[in-house]
Structure 1
Amino acid sequence: MLSRFRFKRFSRRPFVLSILTGLAAVFLLGCAFLTLQVYFRLDDLTAARSDNMQFTISRLEVEHVKLQSAAENLNNADPTATDTFRRRFDAFYNRVNTLLASPLYTGALSNSGMAQDLRSIRTSLDEMTALVDQPDDVLRPARDALLAGIAPLSETIQSISWASLGIAAERSEAERAALARTLLQLAVISLLLIAALVALSFQLWTLFRRYRQRALENRTTLNRLSTILNTSLDHIVVIDPDSRIIEANAAADVAFALSGPDGQRKPITDVLLRRNDAGTTEPVSGARLIEACRNGPNRCAKVLARRADGLLFPVEMSAALAYQSGREVCVCYLRDISQRLAAQKEIEAARDRALAGEQAQARFLGMISHEMRTPLNGILGVVDLLDETVLNVEQRRYLRILQSAGQQLLTQINDALDLTQAGNGRVTLDRGVFDLDALLEEAISGLIAQAGARDTQIELRIPDGPLGLVEGDRARVLQVLVNLLSNAVKFTDGGQVTVEATRPEPAQPWVEVQVADTGRGIPDEDLPHIFNDFVRAGNIAGGDVPGSGLGLGIVRTLVQAMGGRVGVESIEGEGSLFWVRLPLDVASENSVRAPAPSPTGGDVPPLRVLVVEDNDANRFVATQMLLKDGHRVSEARSGEEALRLTQDARFDLILMDIRMPGLDGLETARRIRTRPGPAQAARLIFLTAHIQTENYQEINDLNIEAILAKPLRRTVLRNVLAGRIGGVPPANSHTVDARVMEQLRDTLPATTLEALLARFTEEGDRFVDGLQKEMGKPSEVDISRVHKFAGSAATFGASRLQERLGQLEDALYQGDTRRVRQELAGLPKLWRDTRARLTGARDAA
């Protein structure tokens, strides 16, 4: 506390010094001003009084006496007597006029009666003027008359003289008083100036003592810092522009053997080196170091230093500019990071081992899911077939139980696979145009039966009117809504679930959907973790509500992949409110609307179909589904058998499992496509229970129409055969999807399609050009711009570009800068390929 008080007191000293200096300057100026006043007043007092009023009045008396004497001599025989009289008259007359007209006397005369007396004298003189101007023979006889007019003026002149004496006395007194006041003011200001100077001197002396103490402390500090630097394990060197090491601490001297036998230090070029682009080392000069620090301190971890024994080791260098004797120098701190790099490599190796373990777990989960899906495919397929037969009430009840248990198991398998794909960063988005209002009704209709079983009502509210067509991934949005609704229904008994959808800002792409329920609610301690994987609220753990705890985790993953936000509010015992905000742009008039799924396939003409499946149950189910819809079906148990059948027979469609013993589905499809025959151009659809994206690259050139996930559902199969949906789209598919382009050409006029393609090409050029400055700054890439461009790519069927942008968007949300750089690196070439394909498509249109 005391040290802080001293610091504050010391920090105020410059302010006090400024005040005292200012006061001293003001007092000094005051002294100078008053001194000048005294000087000028003394000058006035000591000046000649030729124009003094009293002197002039006294001269007036003298002139009057001389005039009267000259008038008396007019009778003398002296011929010059008249001239003398006239001169005396003029002198007296001028003296009177001077007193009346001079500004010097006007003020004094106006404050007394002298002015009136002088004017009466001048009046008398004016009356005599006509006589004085007469010739001598007229002037001499008028002597007595002139004396009669001149003599009485003496009394008036005498009264004026007495009055002037009084005025002179008053003036002298006033001048003395003013001079005394000025001298007093000068004395006071001088004393104040002396006081200010004394205080200023005291402050300066105090500062001198303090700064002297500080100088001693600084010297001690410098000695201590010098000791610290010399005992530091870091190597510290000071370098001039000529690469000379002018100073160094003991660690640097010993480590680099800086001092030679002649006492001269070696240059920095013999110590510091860096690797160039060619992979060789080159010395680092002092001029280069100083130039690198122009814009501030520079830090680099890609520098090598040479030890005294000649061996090179990695160092981390921190450099900054300083000045010594008016010259720029560079201060460098060099730290040996050999152990740090070794530890980092060990950490990276451990991370790679952990990632490899996670990938192994993912592969294991995928393989297990394949083994689980294969028998489940047979179970649910037979259930679907059995549902279309004649059953009694008890059998129908057993069938419903079997369907519910099978569907629950399938949901948990799908959730686990979605979680695995999300963990591997493989969530793909398939953007298109769809009716959001219809999607909301579809999500609700699928859960009405489940809600009815719990005596719960589901209500849909769209307060601002229909939301209309939007652009986004229809399947992923539906999956999010169904998971949220299913969660609300599961935890609500005899209550209400309300779904409200709005667009909070009409000019923005955001759509907000709120799912509110009157169910059990969520404890406060569970709210921060409710969207984590495998998490279930504490009050239902082990209760009567089924589920794996993956639904909300998948919601979070999908919402983040789409660039949205999700949240929850809840009061335990009263209910919960889940909200999700998704970037769903309003679809433009020229957008292509994504076809909605259709539950039937009765409009598909009979097809000649080959089912290739090694599992008897799966093959039987698929065959029966096709036969019941009127299709002609052939069966093959292996890839080899499929090749024999396709050698001579024509098929409209081949439905084939990807994973089969012996010749697998990929190789079988490749041979069918490359071997001339009647089935070479057949539609080819893959079946898989192991949805893994690493296989998609292998089927890019096989012209695969769709990949269907097992278990195969009849509605999905019908829609695929009708060309309404494409199943699971292969990742990294063709650069430009020809089917989308054909659909665009069939839907839009040629001029409109050409304009849209030109606009998309311009958008892509701007996007890729903007990446040039973001290559080295992955954290500054605009996620919304990536998301928008991905949507445009999906509209025109640029599948590979869309997938790459989706992976980039996912990496940006996860903050994985390494993945961001990888995705950015390949985008320019991918865009060039896509643009070339689009140009060809536009010409074809």
Structure 2
Amino acid sequence: MHDFIIPALLAIAAAAVFFILRRRRRRDTRIFDLPRCASHEKTRETRLYHDAQMEAMARLAGAVAHQFNNILSVAGAALHLARNAESEAARAEALEAIESSIRNGAGITRRLLTLSRGNAIRKTPVEPGTLLRETLKILSSRPGAPAINTRLRDGLPAVQADPLELSRLFQYVLGNREFLSASGEPVVVEASSAGPARPDAGDAPGPLFVKISASRLCRGFDRDSIRDIFEPGLETSRWTLPIAYSIAKRHGGWIEASYSRAGVLAFDIYLPAGPAESAPEESAPAARPGSAAGTGPLRVLLAEDDDDLRAMTARMLRLEGHGVVEAADGLEAEELLAAGGFDALLSDVMMPGRTGPELAERARAGNPGIRVILMSGHSDGRMDPARAAALGYLFIQKPYSADRLLGFLR
């Protein structure tokens, strides 16, 4: 199993960088769809802009590669120690280091997917004041954290948000490098309700927004850099504000940055108020009549086109006593389903031949009681926990823990 860890981390890094570059490149290629009558000067400006964008992407890829090289080095050293451990305690310590590397790698891919606006969010009604206070406690406990003064109004309306993503947004804005590099004055955090939606909305009534402001005296800040403060840079410290802005946009809000003549750098976060329907979590639904779930070892059809992941998942399931039949693509899985006899289908969402949702539909047509678990490393709108639950399926996001996956088969 340990031999799988380093290739898996490397695959995660490569896939994440490829995805970002592909999306960015698609956007950039549209720049060249210019009318033939475009002036030579305009074409030259476009090419310069394209070159600058490509340079930024190269720097981003370099930063990701640097981080993953460190993670892989730690994992490789820990793997060697685990293989040659002289005691169970030393072996356990090495395995914990490997698990930590996996968590760090997963964290980087989450940030990349957030930056690319590609991963799904799960909105639930969130009380912003409570979540903000919890986030401030986390920030205050960090070494070198600035003092924070809060002015949070009681009775703020709920916002429609993914709690984990919203907490990350708060941490990235309040912990941005400009605030951390300043000294002296505390960070001031305020929260209130605001509306209409934007300053240019005029007198027309608009939706209610919750406004969260963070400001700090930052003398010497380059005023001109305000215009690109939400653009990613080479250093990972320059990712925080772009990611925060992306999270806000995907929640229907936005962030405004300003720098006053008095030297105060301020960020205003706007989030739409109002309750949202709670999205289902990754928890098992009630077993259907005739379902074999919860009755002991199951016969599982595992459909996964990644050979290493499929092999390791199959070994893990067999170790727990389940019978596993493997399929390397959707068409092979479809043929196996036709033969019948399975208690559960565990399938990747995106595969050659047939997608996971297509296989799930065919599986249920032949066996209404079969348990269906869909897996995905990137939610692109085809399937998410809410949609899966509506269809009576389970959904688990990659990377997942063994305990979570096995829990779906109990």
TM-score range, shorter chain: 0.5 to 0.7
Q: Is the 8 A contact 2:121 2:162 kept in 1?
A: no
Partner residue in 1 for 2:126: 434
Letter aligned with residue 528 of structure 1: R
Q: Is the 8 A contact 1:597 1:719 kept in 2?
A: no
Equivalences, count: 316
Deviation at 1:579, TM superposition (A): 1.8
User: Is it true that 1:637 corresponds to 2:336 in the alignment?
Assistant: no
Aligned equivalent of 2:345, options 654, 661, 673: 654
Question: For 2:152, what is the secondary structure of its paired residue?
Answer: coil
Q: Is the 8 A contact 2:173 2:267 kept in 1?
A: yes
| Partners of 1:687 and 1:412 in 2: CA distance | 19
In structure 1, runs of 5+ residues without a counterpart are 1-344, 422-426, 537-541, 599-603, 723-845
Alignment of 1:218-367 (within 5 A): 347=35
Give the 3 Å change call, closer, same or farther, for CA 439–462 of structure 1 in structure 2: same
| Partners of 2:147 and 2:97 in 1: CA distance | 27
Q: Deviations over 1:771-827 (max 9, x none)?
A: xxxxxxxxxxxxxxxxxxxxxxxxxxxxxxxxxxxxxxxxxxxxxxxxxxxxxxxxx
Letter aligned with residue 417 of structure 1: S
User: Is it true that 1:509 corresponds to 2:172 in the alignment?
Assistant: no
Q: Deviations over 1:650-709 (max 9, x none)?
A: 42x5331133345553543343233x23xx43343322335434789xx99993635544
Q: Is the 8 A contact 1:514 1:579 kept in 2?
A: yes
Letter aligned with residue 327 of structure 2: R
| Partners of 2:388 and 2:100 in 1: CA distance | 41
User: Is it true that 1:564 corresponds to 2:253 in the alignment?
Assistant: yes
Aligned equivalent of 2:161, options 473, 487, 509: 473
User: Which one has a bigger Cα radius of gyration?
Assistant: 1
Give the 3 Å change call, closer, same or farther, for CA 499–714 of structure 1 in structure 2: farther
| Partners of 1:625 and 1:462 in 2: CA distance | 51
| Partners of 1:695 and 1:595 in 2: CA distance | 13
Aligned equivalent of 1:665, options 356, 379, 384: 356
Greater helix share, 1 or 2?
Answer: 1
Letter aligned with residue 324 of structure 2: S
| Partners of 2:149 and 2:393 in 1: CA distance | 36
Partner residue in 1 for 2:286: none
Partner residue in 1 for 2:377: 689
User: Is it true that 1:705 corresponds to 2:404 in the alignment?
Assistant: no
Give the 3 Å change call, closer, same or farther, for CA 650–499 of structure 1 in structure 2: farther
Aligned equivalent of 2:105, options 406, 409, 418: 406
Partner residue in 2 for 1:526: 225
Deviation at 1:562, TM superposition (A): 4.3
Q: Which has the higher contact order (CA 8 A, sep 6+)?
A: 2
Q: CA RMSD in A?
A: 5.7
Give the 3 Å change call, closer, same or farther, for CA 429–714 of structure 1 in structure 2: closer
| Partners of 2:406 and 2:194 in 1: CA distance | 36
Deviation at 1:398, TM superposition (A): 5.0
Q: Is the 8 A contact 2:115 2:246 kept in 1?
A: no
Task: Using structure 1 for the length normalisation, give the TM-score.
Answer: 0.30
Letter aligned with residue 406 of structure 1: G
Question: For 1:502, what is the secondary structure of its paired residue?
Answer: strand
Q: Is the 8 A contact 1:566 1:578 kept in 2?
A: yes
| Partners of 1:721 and 1:443 in 2: CA distance | 31
| Partners of 2:155 and 2:109 in 1: CA distance | 34
Letter aligned with residue 634 of structure 1: V
Question: For 1:515, what is the secondary structure of its paired residue?
Answer: strand
Deviation at 1:570, TM superposition (A): 4.3
Letter aligned with residue 713 of structure 1: Y
Q: Is the 8 A contact 2:146 2:180 kept in 1?
A: no
Letter aligned with residue 463 of structure 1: L
Question: For 2:350, what is the secondary structure of its paired residue?
Answer: coil
User: Is it true that 1:615 corresponds to 2:302 in the alignment?
Assistant: no
Partner residue in 2 for 1:310: none
Deviation at 1:634, TM superposition (A): 2.9
Sequence identity, in percent?
18
Aligned equivalent of 1:463, options 129, 152, 156: 152
Question: For 1:410, what is the secondary structure of its paired residue?
Answer: helix
Deviation at 1:617, TM superposition (A): 3.4
Q: Is the 8 A contact 1:430 1:472 kept in 2?
A: no
Partner residue in 2 for 1:293: none
Partner residue in 1 for 2:17: none
Give the 3 Å change call, closer, same or farther, for CA 688–644 of structure 1 in structure 2: same
Give the 3 Å change call, closer, same or farther, for CA 459–694 of structure 1 in structure 2: same
| Partners of 2:388 and 2:152 in 1: CA distance | 46
Give the 3 Å change call, closer, same or farther, for CA 666–565 of structure 1 in structure 2: closer
Deviation at 1:527, TM superposition (A): 0.9
| Partners of 1:348 and 1:709 in 2: CA distance | 46
Letter aligned with residue 362 of structure 2: R
Letter aligned with residue 530 of structure 1: I
Letter aligned with residue 224 of structure 2: E
Deviation at 1:556, TM superposition (A): 3.5
Question: For 2:169, what is the secondary structure of its paired residue?
Answer: helix
Letter aligned with residue 502 of structure 1: A
Q: Is the 8 A contact 2:363 2:370 kept in 1?
A: no
Alignment of 1:748-787 (within 5 A): none
Alignment of 1:517-596 (within 5 A): 522-531=221-230, 533-534=231-232, 536=233, 545-547=235-237, 549-560=238-249, 562-570=251-259, 576-585=265-274, 587=275
Letter aligned with residue 211 of structure 2: E
Deviation at 1:472, TM superposition (A): 0.9
Question: For 2:351, what is the secondary structure of its paired residue?
Answer: coil
Letter aligned with residue 212 of structure 2: V
| Partners of 1:568 and 1:624 in 2: CA distance | 51
- Larger CA deviation: 456-465 vs 509-518: 456-465
Deviation at 1:395, TM superposition (A): 3.6
Q: Is the 8 A contact 1:488 1:516 kept in 2?
A: no
Deviation at 1:566, TM superposition (A): 1.9
Deviation at 1:414, TM superposition (A): 1.4
| Partners of 1:438 and 1:626 in 2: CA distance | 40
| Partners of 2:153 and 2:125 in 1: CA distance | 21
Q: Is the 8 A contact 1:685 1:704 kept in 2?
A: no
Question: For 2:154, what is the secondary structure of its paired residue?
Answer: coil
Deviation at 1:525, TM superposition (A): 1.0
Give the 3 Å change call, closer, same or farther, for CA 559–618 of structure 1 in structure 2: same
Alignment of 1:384-395 (within 5 A): 390-391=89-90, 395=94
Q: Is the 8 A contact 2:125 2:160 kept in 1?
A: yes
Q: Is the 8 A contact 1:491 1:520 kept in 2?
A: no
Task: Using structure 2 for the length normalisation, give the TM-score.
Answer: 0.54
Q: Is the 8 A contact 1:684 1:705 kept in 2?
A: yes
